[in-house]
């Protein structure tokens, strides 16, 4: 087996988590791989300051996805990674957050393995931990929450896809990625299965960035006051720990 230093001189795909935004929340390993890259295949939510770290002579390809608009199909992304790695290039697949948390990194690894391509996965600060910390919301707390669950916002589209009764139980923090658009449906499902509308909840948009906004209040009131879905990335957090947020509104 080749040492990593030898692999870096051959065709290798580094699947990198860029974190939730600011470049100083990237790991040293992620920055190292990005600055060595010959080809960078990047997503929509990568911040400009991270993109500035891409070498000037590197081939840069945008494959971002937004709701209902995928610039390149997932299979096309697989093909790009394989093509350039087979040509002996150092390829970086640059993703926001962490590649293995709702980032489809697992699918890309499967495709690379099937093609016999050398790869590595560099973890990143996922939005749940980065944005909650920036908003002053602990994901767990000895007195308030013994567990935390990460969920996709589209879970609310089909009531049969998850155990909503279990999700409505007290003592846990629920983090919905891209949950703003479906907040009314998510709240409806949870409250229908026993969660109190007085449960603290928050929307964090542009978490960890200078443009961060936080709206934190009781779940029932949050549904009434939630901003319209827009291009800003947003996280929905529901659970008792939200009451510790310095922006939490008690009224």
Residues 182, 176: Cα–Cα separation, whole Å = 10
For the chain, the helix, strand and coil percentages under 3-state DSSP, each to the nearest 5: 35, 25, 40
Check: CB of residue 223 under 8 Å from CB of residue 187.
Answer: yes
Q: Which residues are catalytic?
A: 43, 65
Structure tokens at 8: 């870096």
Residues 36, 30: Cα–Cα separation, whole Å = 10
Structure tokens at 161: 């896809």
Q: What are phi and psi of 243, to 5 degrees?
A: -65, -15
Residues 151, 31: Cα–Cα separation, whole Å = 28
Q: Within a 13 Å sphere around the CA of 94, how many CA atoms are in the beta-carbon half?
A: 40
Relative orientation angle of helices 74-86 and 105-115, to the nearest 10 degrees: 40
């Amino acid at each position: 087996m080749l040492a990593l230093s030898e692999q870096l001189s051959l065709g290798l795909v580094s699947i990198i988590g860029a974190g939730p935004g600011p470049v100083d929340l990237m790991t040293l390993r992620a920055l190292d791989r990005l600055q060595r890259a010959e080809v960078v295949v990047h997503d929509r939510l990568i911040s400009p300051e991270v993109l500035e770290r891409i070498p000037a002579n590197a081939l840069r390809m945008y494959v971002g996805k937004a709701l209902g608009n995928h610039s390149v199909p997932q299979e096309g992304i697989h093909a790009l990674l394989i093509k350039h790695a087979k040509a002996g290039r150092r390829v970086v697949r640059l993703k926001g957050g962490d590649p293995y948390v709702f980032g489809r990194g697992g699918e890309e690894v499967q495709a690379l393995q099937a093609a016999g391509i050398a790869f590595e996965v560099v973890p990143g600060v996922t939005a749940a931990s980065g944005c909650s910390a920036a908003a002053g919301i602990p994901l767990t707390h000895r007195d308030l929450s013994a567990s935390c669950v990460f969920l996709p916002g589209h879970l609310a589209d089909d009531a049969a896809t998850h155990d909503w009764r279990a999700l409505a139980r007290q003592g846990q923090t629920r983090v919905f990625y891209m949950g703003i658009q479906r907040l009314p449906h998510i709240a409806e499902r949870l409250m229908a299965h026993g969660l109190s509308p007085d449960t603290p909840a928050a929307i964090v948009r542009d978490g960890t960035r200078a443009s961060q906004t936080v709206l934190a209040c009781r779940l029932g009131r949050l549904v009434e006051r939630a901003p319209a879905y827009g291009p800003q990335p947003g996280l929905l957090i529901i659970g008792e720990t939200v009451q510790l947020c310095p922006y939490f509104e008690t009224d």
